[in-house]
Amino acid sequence: MCGLIGIAGSPEAAALAIEGLHTQQFRGLESAGVATGNGSDVHLRGGLGLVQDVFSQEVDVLGQLPGNLAIGHIRYSTVAKDARNARLYQPIRGLWGTEPFCLAHNGNLPDTTHLMSYIDQSRLTSSVDSEIIVRFFEGSNETGIFEDDFANALHEIRGAFCFLLLFRDEIIAVRDPQGVHPLSIGKREDGTFVVASETCALETLEATWLGDVEPGTFVRIRADGETGVTRFAEAAPKQCIFQLVYFGHPASIMYGTPIFEWRVKVGEAIEHMYPTHGADIVVPVPDSAIPYGIGYGAGGRSGRYLPGIWRHHYTGRTFILPTQNIRQAAVRRKFQSSIHDLQGKSVVLIDDSIVRGTTSHWVVDRVWKAGAREVHMLSAYDAIRYSCVYGVDTPEKKNLIAATKSVEETCKFIGATSLRYFPIESLLRLAGGPPGQWCTACTNGDYWHKANRLAA
């Protein structure tokens, strides 16, 4: 999972891009990079680590990143299977004809065989799909008419992608026809355009949200503020429902939906479906389950909302750590409990989802140790039985608890009195639009890119 930021038309482009990456750091802990364009060249700087490590104040970062155009990328920590890939940060530099450009990518292409057939593979320094895309673009300057060549190239790319490209005098924001991941555009009062993976970054940069990059289109924004939109494919939405449930920042508007309010509504709906009458308290697992807890406890029929677990904000996400022992230690470091006396109480725990079960096991154990009589676990997302291939870092299928255990077995593993998953069909009804417009592959294995490939 990555965060993107684009700035067009500000003499402080690099500084704004770095600030925008900071805001999205909840998504990314592994690498960060910024590229700028100053009309005569592109400049690139990045590395591994947190934004504040890569863009240390001890180095004259802004002096090295001149120009009033910038794009930035942040990558969320994953287990590096290939040391070459682990070293790669984005944006990645390339050449379109003789024009230097840099590319930042959010998403994942599950099958790059098609693109690989077009490129000189000896030039690859990694097996990362984003680098394959850069090399593919390098060979796409066929007619010399950029608009046509770029649209034709995008037509060949299948999978989940949001791109930001930076040239010397413009940035280009691209969203795949499925619109899997969000990409929003805003504008500051001084006329600067801001493009971001999440609208919460627009707020930080004092930009007003204008709308989203439409699926199947690219938007060109020049340094002088001139813009243009080109459609390269019909929209065929498969928006990531899990972003609304978990990854999206509660302050963001995603796919047109204000995340916090929507999650509160989901919490209310879970209470209607799975009431726990007679429960004493409803405890959300922070941070993303807080609105679900508020919604679940709103009517007061199934317990009173009471935050009792606190998240340490400077640790990474735990389900992507390499071994079970490290994950358990990380969960202990990540959460602290202020629940000390629940003697004889019936407790409802609500979480956004259950991935490996490590966090749920720890939280349930804390509640028992505080003396609870019953511990009922609720998940706002359906059972995750399949790994994501579209750029959201879920573990391999064999490590997903719901892929190998029934609901009863999972309940036993986490040590709860009961366990309920909110069904995906109910969630889709609350998300709105035709159910087919949402990607749900991690719950039901419906990997839509396979059908698309057959149809292509």
Backbone angles phi, psi at 287, to 5 degrees: -95, -30
Of the two residues 29 and 441, which places its CB atom closer to ligand SF4 in the complex?
A: 441
Of the two residues 248 and 297, which places its CB atom closer to ligand SF4 in the complex?
A: 248
Question: Min. distance of Cβ 160 from ligand SF4 in angstroms?
Answer: 6
Active site (annotated) includes residue 439: no
Burial class (CB in 10 A: 0-12, 13-18, 19+), 358: buried
Pull the structure tokens for residue 157: 């790319």
Of the two residues 48 and 430, which places its CB atom closer to ligand SF4 in the complex?
A: 430
Beta strand ranges found along 76-204 (DSSP E): 92-96, 99-108, 160-166, 170-175, 184-188, 193-196
Of the two residues 321 and 439, which places its CB atom closer to ligand SF4 in the complex?
A: 439
Q: Which of 2, 102, 162, 411 is catalytic?
A: 2
Backbone angles phi, psi at 427, to 5 degrees: -65, -40
Cα→Cα distances 93→37, 42, 69, 410, Å? 12, 9, 15, 46
Question: Min. distance of Cβ 388 from ligand SF4 in angstroms?
Answer: 3
Nearest of 250, 130, 148 to residue 199 by alpha carbon: 250
Question: Min. distance of Cβ 81 from ligand SF4 in angstroms?
Answer: 18
Of the two residues 262 and 390, which places its CB atom closer to ligand SF4 in the complex?
A: 390
Amino acid identity of residue 167, one-letter, is: F
Question: Min. distance of Cβ 144 from ligand SF4 in angstroms?
Answer: 36
Nearest of 388, 396, 318 to residue 357 by alpha carbon: 318
Give the SS3 label for residue 94. Answer: strand
Q: What residues make contact with ligand SF4 under the rule CB under 6 A?
A: 180, 240-242, 388, 390, 392, 439-442
Question: Min. distance of Cβ 124 from ligand SF4 in angstroms?
Answer: 25
Q: Which active-site residues does the annotation give?
A: 2
